[in-house]
Amino acid sequence: MATLRSMLFVPADSERKLAKGETSAADALILDLEDSVAESRKPLAREMAARFIGERAAHIAPRLYVRINPLDTPFAMADLAAVVAPGLAGVMLPKIRSAADLVRLSHGLDALEARAGLAAGCVAIVPVATETAEAMLTMGSFVGTALPRLAGITWGAEDLSTAIGAVANRDEDGQYSPLYQLAASLCLAAAAAAGVPAIDTLHADFKDSAGLVATSRTSRRRGFRGRLAIHPDQVVPINEAYSPSAAELAHARRIVEAFAANPDAGTLSLDGAMIDKPHLTQARRTLGLVR
């Protein structure tokens, strides 16, 4: 599965920001047709996104995703019809209500891929899975639903606070309120159950580099494999935070080598600590993060 450490949002109706985004070190650019684009400019944004994909996808390093408008708006189908073409890596689907929305989207992508001459199933889906009250109550729907296009699951706090009528999504101490902590935890659990990476939500203060680094390191320790970015300056710190350090890689290799030398062992001692098969699984996962 392709690495998605950093996914950088770029308003699709801004030539300047598109140009800046294509030179970033992001693993993926998200050409945004939703919140960052005014309704009056959505037709233009679709045209610009389609042109950017057609002209630049083969020449730049970041993979190209498009955040379409929610499926229950009159804009979503027009978004998809414009951007499903060679070079599109995936679609970010906002404000879902359950995994059933991904199934519905996938059916539409089946037809559009065929129209564009693309291989069936080549366009991936990353949902923003916690932006509605319904979604918070149906996160278990990712278990048992066939979602072959699923490439990751991310979560959002801003739209969820709007959906429930909250004044703010953080308490006075600056920490997320319990509902949003639950949203992050459900994202982790749903992604693990579906066998895809969990991608953490954005750090809204793009000038707060220290806070970005600190929260990203905490995020990775908790199980997130990448993070959304809203400014190009956030990309490199995010990539570094979600990449294993040299010490982590060395330790992981030693675990793998120890079990390779003792294939019949259930537990081993390494550096004075007991290690077992879960440690081996985690070590292999760490080594797999290296591109």
Q: Concatenated DSSP letters for 39-73?
A: GGGHHHHHHHHHHHHHHHTTTSSSEEEEE---TTS
Query: Hey, what are 167's tokens?
Result: 């004044």
Provide the residue range defining the domain that includes 179: 6-241
Residue 97 and residue 134: Cα distance in Å, rounded?
A: 5
Q: Is residue 1 part of a domain?
A: no
Q: Is residue 85 part of a domain?
A: yes
Q: What is the pLDDT of residue 1?
A: 60
152 and 265 share one domain: no
Residue 281: how many other CB atoms lie within 10 Å: 11
226 and 277 share one domain: no
125 and 267 share one domain: no
Q: Is residue 277 part of a domain?
A: yes
133 and 222 share one domain: yes
215-268 pLDDT, tens digit each: 999 999 999 999 999 999 999 999 999 998 777 778 888 888 888 888 888 888
The sheet that has 124-127: what strands, in order across it? 124-127, 88-93, 63-67, 28-32, 6-11, 226-229, 198-200, 153-154
Residue 244: how many other CB atoms lie within 10 Å: 17
144: CB partners within 8 A, 6+ apart: none
Residue 28 has phi, psi (to 5 degrees) of: -150, 145
* Amino acid in position 268: L
Pick the closest to residue 66 from 13, 2, 142 (CA basis). 13
Residue 74 has phi, psi (to 5 degrees) of: -75, 0
- Alpha carbon distances (Å) from 83 to 66, 100, 176: 8, 22, 35
Pick the closest to residue 207 from 228, 231, 226 (CA basis). 231
Residues of the chain with pLDDT under 50: none
44-70 pLDDT, tens digit each: 999 999 999 999 999 999 999 999 999
Q: Is residue 279 part of a domain?
A: yes
Q: What is the pLDDT of residue 286?
A: 78
215 and 260 share one domain: no
Q: Match 């072959």 to its residue by tokens.
A: 148
176 and 225 share one domain: yes
210 and 258 share one domain: no
Residues 148 and 121 sit within 8 Å (Cβ to Cβ): yes
Q: What is the pLDDT of residue 261?
A: 82
CATH number of domain containing 26: 3.20.20.60
183 and 158 share one domain: yes
139 and 170 share one domain: yes
How many alpha carbons fall within 13 Å on the CB side of residue 221?
6
173 and 269 share one domain: no
Q: What is the pLDDT of residue 267?
A: 87
Q: Is residue 140 part of a domain?
A: yes
189 and 262 share one domain: no
Counting the structural domains of the chain, the total is 2
134 and 221 share one domain: yes
Residue 114 and residue 103: Cα distance in Å, rounded?
A: 17
Q: What is the pLDDT of residue 291?
A: 54
Residue 48 and residue 40: Cα distance in Å, rounded?
A: 14
Pick the closest to residue 133 from 106, 97, 102, 169 (CA basis). 97
